[in-house]
Amino acid sequence: MNPAILIIDDEVKLRGLLARILALEGYVVKEATTLKTAKEMLAKEPFAVLICDVKLPDGNGVEFTSWLKKHFPATEIIVLTAFGTIQDGIQAMKNGAFDYITKGEDNNKIIPLLQRAIEKQQLQIKVKELQDKISARYSFSSILGNSQRIKFAIAAAQRVAITETTVLLTGETGTGKEVFAQAIHAESNRKDNSFVAINCSAFSRELLENELFGHKAGAFTGALKDGKGLLEEADKGTLFLDEIGEMAIDLQAKLLRVLETGEFYRLGDNQVRKVNIRLIAATNRDLQKEMEAGRFREDLYYRLSVFQIELPPLRDRTEDIPLLANHFIQVFAARMNKKVTFISDAYLTRLCKMNWKGNIRELKNCIERSVILTDGTELEPSSLPSQPDAVGVDLASMEKAHIQKVLEQCNHNKTETAKLLGIGLTTLYRKMEEYQLH
Ligand SMILES: Nc1ncnc2c1ncn2[C@@H]1O[C@H](COP(=O)(O)OP(=O)(O)OP(=O)(O)O)[C@@H](O)[C@H]1O
């Protein structure tokens, strides 16, 4: 449908003329003589652009612009000013108008201007839709799980999200620490500003310092220009420090200073800078033990552990596995255009018995692999990677189990099985004979 335009003007002739011109161009045009009527119409239906006179019986179009932008920020407004009143136009733009034109003078300008205003308005709508999609992706609703332990963690995170408190997320790798950090940010008052994440274990001490604090030109060889650090990138937003237990102790001191005062220096610079960040830290180490061993600063530890949320390992909440597995199947089947939608009971039983050292990340990877290997509609255990309990299993049994698995995967096609195993066809037949595999 063509975008709707509302003309607000009490001069009948001019309003009618403008309405006819716009209607001829294919726009849906509505008219109002007063601001009161305009407001009532706005409450009932959406308009892309308003074209509004300045002097109206019940108010002023320049002031109305501020009201409109406050209540309908996505609607654009073009103000019609009287000849010789440029000030009105300038003020209207300051109040958020898309532009202004002089009444009766600039008739040939109106159509191109209107088109640009509509383009802007539609882009804004698209941006908003995308933003909503992104925040839904990072919101608490994307964190799946019905177990008591995960529900408890979600409830705690939701409570702390709206505060300014530093949060410490603890848990094994792949338990969802980053997902939680993003959800906390997305639900906080800082959601419209940046969420900046960095993994402290991925950098040497020097590089991490530079990444966080930035540098002044000449601070070190290769520092040709001044460089902003992540602290500045995260200003007014959230900084997520993953694996904080890996941070060198002197950097911990600098970090603590930023948390306490908001102040820091770029490397090689003597100008003090200020930022306003909220910190969310994560670790899979026992920070208390690290502190006791002298590897983690006590003051920083106490500062971080004000609000700690522990994320449970997957093996402690196996009741969540079916939900998570089904979710990942949908994701990967859609991505790979596969018709697989079900999990066989045998597959699920195997899933629930696995160790999941890599937690949800491992489960996700595992399902991805199974979806790739499955042609039908149901996931079968044969598509699971073998997780043999190697201790106490002799080599021959492992070889037998592995050959059997690959045979199943290849629907007992011997040539393919031999190829996958990297052995000759005769060797495969010999081994099958030896292990009595058929
Ligand atoms: N509750 C959940 N529901 C759905 N997906 C999840 C959930 N928790 C984690 N995931 C998914 O699991 C993967 C690992 O999560 P994430 O990166 O947040 O873990 P992590 O604890 O930060 O890991 P690491 O310590 O290794 O950085 C991601 O792909 C994430 O989308």
Which of 172, 180, 326, 361 to probe ligand 1 with, by most ligand atoms within 8 A of CB?
A: 361
Q: Of the segments 201-210, 320-329, 426-435, which one has the largest average pLDDT value?
A: 320-329
Q: Give 173 Cα–ligand 1 centroid separation in angstroms.
A: 8
Q: Above 70 in pLDDT, residue 45?
A: yes
* pLDDT of amino acid 381: 82
pLDDT in tens, 174-185: 999 999 999 999
93-105 mean pLDDT? 90
* pLDDT of amino acid 393: 59
Q: Give 196 Cα–ligand 1 centroid separation in angstroms.
A: 17
Vertex 172: Cα angle to 171 and 177 (nearest 5): 55
Q: Give 361 Cα–ligand 1 centroid separation in angstroms.
A: 6
Task: For residue 1, name the pLDDT band (cuts at 50, 70, 90).
Answer: low
185-200 mean pLDDT? 93
When mean pLDDT is compared across 18-32, 123-137, 143-157, the lowest value belongs to 123-137
Q: Which of 297, 264, 299, 300 is nearest to 281 (CA)?
A: 300
Residues above pLDDT 70, as percent of the chain: 97
The more confident residue out of 401 and 145 is 145
Q: Give 364 Cα–ligand 1 centroid separation in angstroms.
A: 9
The more confident residue out of 360 and 429 is 360
Q: Above 50 in pLDDT, residue 390?
A: no
Task: For residue 76, name the pLDDT band (cuts at 50, 70, 90).
Answer: very high
265-278 mean pLDDT? 94
Q: From atom 10 of ligand 1, which residue's Cα is the shortest distance away?
A: 176
Q: Give 317 Cα–ligand 1 centroid separation in angstroms.
A: 15
Q: Looking up tokens 């060797």, which residue turns up?
A: 427
Rounded CA-CA distance 102/80 in Å is 6
pLDDT in tens, 213-242: 999 988 787 778 889 999 999 999 999 999
Q: Above 70 in pLDDT, residue 264?
A: yes
- The answer, yes or no, to whether any atom of ligand 1 lies below 6 A from the CB of 361, is yes
Question: What domains can you pick out in the chain, each with its CATH number?
Answer: 4-134 (3.40.50.2300), 141-310 (3.40.50.300), 315-435 (1.10.8.60)
Q: Which amino acid is at 217?
A: A
Which atom number of ligand 1 is nearest to the Cα of residue 144?
3
Length reported for the chain? 438
| pTM given for the model | 0.68
* pLDDT of amino acid 376: 86
* pLDDT of amino acid 387: 56
The more confident residue out of 158 and 105 is 158
- The answer, yes or no, to whether any atom of ligand 1 lies below 6 A from the CB of 284, is yes
* pLDDT of amino acid 355: 87
203-209 mean pLDDT? 90
ipTM of the complex: 0.97
Under a CB-based contact definition with an 8 Å cutoff, are residues 308 and 168 in contact? yes
Task: For residue 105, name the pLDDT band (cuts at 50, 70, 90).
Answer: confident
Long-range pairs for 89-95: beta carbons < 8 A, 24 or more residues apart: 91/62, 92/54, 92/61, 92/62, 92/65, 95/62, 95/63, 95/65, 95/66, 95/69
The more confident residue out of 311 and 427 is 311
303-308 mean pLDDT? 93
359-367 mean pLDDT? 93
- The answer, yes or no, to whether any atom of ligand 1 lies below 6 A from the CB of 360, is yes
Q: Above 70 in pLDDT, residue 248?
A: yes
* pLDDT of amino acid 398: 79
Q: Above 90 in pLDDT, residue 86?
A: no
Q: Which of 375, 373, 378 is nearest to 348 (CA)?
A: 378
Which of 168, 360, 368 to probe ligand 1 with, by most ligand atoms within 8 A of CB?
A: 360
Q: Which of 74, 123, 67 is nearest to 52 (CA)?
A: 67
Q: Above 70 in pLDDT, residue 389?
A: no
End-to-end CA distance of the chain: 65
